Chains A and B, each alone.
Chain A
Amino acid sequence: MTSRTFAAWVVRRLAVAAAVVAGVAVVTFVLIHLAPGDPIYLLAGDGGSPAYYADMRARYGLDRPLPAQLATYLAAVLTLDFGYSFVHQAPVSRVLLAHAPASLLLGGAALALATAAGLFAGVLPALTRSLAVDRVVRWGASITYASPVFWTGQIFVYVFAVRLGILPAAGITTARETLTGLAAGGDVLRHLLLPALTLSLPFAAIIARVVRAALVEIAREPFVLATSARGFSRARVLLGHAVPNVLPPVVTLVGLHAAQLAAGAALIEALFGWPGVGHLVLQASLHRDYPLVVGAFIGISASVVFFNAAADAVCAWLDPRVRQT
């Protein structure tokens, strides 16, 4: 496990990641421009004359042939210029950067909640050694994983926001006042709770299942019986020895599901009016905002790939055998 081979491994993964992202960009660009329908009517206002639309088409560069547009675009991307959003009338990079924090906050909070809840639920059966608890955790996880996030979200909104009125139904901050400092942070957290909770559920379920399965195996190991015979509490043994062994599969899982997390986030953002990238992409697709869609795709796939690579790197660092695959 020399640091040099590890570094080489990381570099190789990054190179692959870059190639993959480039491929995604090209495919998306071509796909979008092949689609039927002329975006000019959405961009340029209604009730215009044919001459007007021709002028506007030229203005937005939509009248050039596809290969020329693609070449210009790729050249620009290399200088980190992702074009200009038609709808938002601002550079794409600026629009994406303005919306990224909300998505990262949502995703991060959901992951944190999912890991905490999943670990807790997964450890419980092995700790309590109760068949009933085990059954509850397993069935609960299965049902939770199967429930669509936009459905559980609707139910949470109905229960907590409409019926009980204790949490806000939508948005990221309260509309009326512009709060600062701690009050602002608290306000955001209040708005974050329901969406993050909803998004975290499927991932908590998966983590719970994996942790449970791994711990149940480990709990049978002789060393556990031995140490508990020597007087150490079962809980300490399990938590001290077992949980670190469980981390690699959990981390891999999280990496594998990064794309799913992004998809779930898009649905949650639509449901809760959360101003993140997922919602942005949906609106951009519907409004034929080509530069924004392609830019967002590049951003999202780069994040997913990076996330996967990071997860693999953590696993490889924890367990050198994994590096062979």
Chain B
Amino acid sequence: MRRQDPAARWMGAAILAVLGAVAAAAPLVAPGDPYRLTGPALTAPSWTHPFGTDDLGRDVFAGVVHGAATSLRVGAVGAAGALLLGVLVGGIAGMRGGWIDQALMRAADFVQAMPRFFLAITAVSLFGGGLSLIMLVIALTAWPGTARVFRSLVVSTRRREFVLASQAAGAPERWILRRHVVPLTISVAVAHASYQAGGAILAEAGLSFLGLGDPSVMSWGTQLGFAQQMVREAWWTSVFPGLAIALTVLGCNLLADSVGHRTDRPQPIP
């Protein structure tokens, strides 16, 4: 049972690939503006409206399809931010050691202690809900976990014999980093950062649910927020966008799992 379920290994990538295709093909699959009022309000799923319509008459299916792009963007930026900043900070801390290490890890403590979601709520309600602001806040707060894991891996790899041998032979640090340390540790960092993708998507959905999302882009969270008033009358306004979020986050997590499993390093706990 140590082996990963073979289905899971490719399923994550498959889900995300399908979603990516849907997002890219949005103009074909659901042409026009998803905010367009296309039919009578609150109609149940039918052939013309596969996911029904909401209380203004907007097509829920079009909203879900167009919302895919938003979520994928947020997830990608979140993961990228976590990876870049995390590897940078963790790498420097791990290689340098000493007071730089201490200072950077205290900075990581600080960022981690900041209640990220509340910070986002405050930032958005004060500065206005733009997707860029949301992604910025998420990316800037996603790196501490990755940094910590990467740093400890770097530290333990440095002590491995072949690295010490290279150092004794006079190889420059950057070369050692690139040649030995990074290849062994990067997959773990990537896995850790990939978990951030799912977290980023949930965070953006949560903000949109509370009404703090970017109103000019379609978001699943916003759909769920509007659906709150109508759960009794129109279950379809709630079920489909939520299902989309769950599926996307699941895909990200499965992908992260499969990346992590490729090595025999201790697995990062999400």
Contacts and interface: CB of A to CB of B under 8 A. Distances in A.
* A/B: CB atoms within 8 Å of each other: yes
Interface of A: 16-17, 19-21, 23-24, 27-28, 31-32, 35-37, 125, 131, 134-135, 138, 142-143, 145-148, 150-152, 154-155, 157-158, 162, 206, 209-210, 213, 216-217, 249, 252-253, 256, 259-260, 262-263, 266-267, 270-271, 278, 281-282, 285-286, 288, 293, 296-297, 300-301, 304-305, 308, 325
Interface in B180-207: 198-199, 202-203, 205-206
Nearest to A212: B1
Nearest to A157: B231
Interface in B115-146: 115-119, 121-123, 125-128, 145
Contacts of A308: 112-113
Contact of B113 (A21, A210, A249, A286): A21
A149 to B, nearest CB: 8
A285 B117 contact: no
12 contacts: A20-B106, A21-B113, A142-B8, A150-B224, A152-B242, A216-B1, A256-B145, A263-B115, A263-B203, A271-B228, A297-B115, A297-B119
B114 A253 contact: no
B113 A301 contact: yes
B88 interface: no
Contacts of A125: 1
Given A31-B123, A155-B238, A293-B122, A259 B116 contact: yes
Contacts of B145: 256
Nearest to A152: B242
A282 B270 contact: no
A285 B125 contact: yes
B20 to A, nearest CB: 17
Given A152-B242, A285-B126, 17 more contacts: A16-B109, A134-B1, A147-B246, A148-B205, A148-B221, A148-B242, A151-B238, A151-B245, A154-B228, A157-B231, A210-B269, A216-B1, A267-B209, A288-B126, A297-B118, A304-B115, A305-B113
A271 B224 CA distance: 11
Contact of A32 (B2, B8, B126, B210): B126
Residue among B109, B110, B126, B246 facing the most chain A CB atoms (10 A cut-off): B126
Contacts of A286: 125
A256 B253 CA distance: 18
Contact of B242 (A17, A154, A305): A154
A151 B224 contact: yes
A138 B5 contact: yes
Given A146-B249, A162-B232, A28 B122 contact: yes
A262 B198 contact: no
A31 B126 contact: yes
Interface of B: 1-2, 5, 8, 106, 109-110, 112-119, 121-123, 125-128, 145, 152, 198-199, 202-203, 205-206, 209-210, 221, 224, 227-228, 231-232, 235, 238-239, 241-242, 245-250, 253-254, 267, 269-270
A142 B114 CA distance: 27
Q: Is the interface of A mostly helix, strand, loop or mixed?
A: helix
Contacts of B235: 158
Contacts of A19: 106
Nearest to B123: A31
B231 A24 contact: no
Nearest to A303: B115
Contacts of B202: 148
A263 B116 CA distance: 8
Contacts of B112: 259, 308
A258 to B, nearest CB: 9
A263 B248 CA distance: 20
A102 B189 CA distance: 38
Contacts of A134: 1
Contacts of B247: 146
Contacts of A325: 152
B113 A267 contact: no
A33 to B, nearest CB: 9
A106 B179 CA distance: 50
Nearest to A263: B117
Contact of B246 (A35, A138, A146): A146
Q: What 6 pairs across the A-B complex have the smallest Cβ distances?
A: A35-B126, A151-B242, A263-B117, A146-B249, A146-B250, A147-B246
Contacts of A213: 267
A23 B1 contact: no
Residue among B8, B110, B235 facing the most chain A CB atoms (10 A cut-off): B110
Contacts of B242: 147-148, 151-152, 154-155
B210 A282 contact: yes
A16 B224 CA distance: 40
A130 B5 CA distance: 14
Nearest to A134: B1
A142 B224 contact: no
B254 A142 contact: yes
B34 to A, nearest CB: 19
B231 to A, nearest CB: 5
A216 B2 contact: yes
